[in-house]
Amino acid sequence: MTTVKTKVKTKAASNTGGAKTLHGLSPYEPKKNEEYMNEKQREHFKQILKAWRHELMEEVDRTVSHMKDEAANFPDPADRATQEEEFSLELRTRDRERKLIKKIDKTLVRVEEDDYGFCDQCGVDIGIRRLEARPTADLCVDCKTLDEIKERQITGG
């Protein structure tokens, strides 16, 4: 499965002249003196989020097909246990992706409401590059860093 994703990313990068791509889309190149989170930028991130969501939904479909196709009642307990563990790992991954899809959906609503790209805690610009690295980010780097420090102090980690 990893091999397929790697080939897809490599192919996408070669189609854009070697530029890094995010879900098949080239990075946004802001113009000089361009207003932050203008319509063009919001549309760019909306496309990224929709493409990411589409990829995750395709993965869900592949998992369902795979589990249906591979489901067998092995007579050997070790084979059965191996298959159950494989399915369990896949389902755990899909559960994480289901939560991510919800977060993507919430982010798409924020894009539509012109509330995207600004920190929830301090209100400053999150920044184009950070949003391309993590399109669902709702905190600027400084606030996220402070949150992580506070969390480590509370949990002792």
According to the model, what pLDDT value does residue 95 have?
Answer: 93
- Residue 90 within any structural domain of the chain: yes
- Residue 80 within any structural domain of the chain: yes
Residue 109's domain spans which residues? 36-155
Q: For residues 34 and 44, what is the distance between their CA atoms, to the nearest angstrom?
A: 14
- Residue 6 within any structural domain of the chain: no
∠ CA 92-1-55, nearest 5°, is 70
CATH number (domain holding residue 112): 1.20.120.910
pLDDT in tens, 47-63: 999 999 999 999 988 88
- Residue 86 within any structural domain of the chain: yes
The answer to whether residue 19 scores a pLDDT higher than 70 is no
Q: For residues 129 and 79, what is the distance between their CA atoms, to the nearest angstrom?
A: 46
What is the secondary structure of 100-136 as a DSSP string?
Answer: HHHHHHHHHHHHHTT-TTB-TTT--B--HHHHHH-TT
- Residue 18 within any structural domain of the chain: no
- Residue 17 within any structural domain of the chain: no
Q: Which of 108, 128, 137 is closest to 26 using CA atoms?
A: 128
- Residue 31 within any structural domain of the chain: no
Rounded alpha-carbon distances, angstroms, from residue 78 to 67, 74, 81, 113? 18, 9, 5, 53
Q: What is the pTM of this model?
A: 0.76
Single-letter residue type at 85: E
* Total domains in the fold of the chain: 1
- Mean of the per-residue pLDDT values for the chain? 85
- Residue 2 within any structural domain of the chain: no
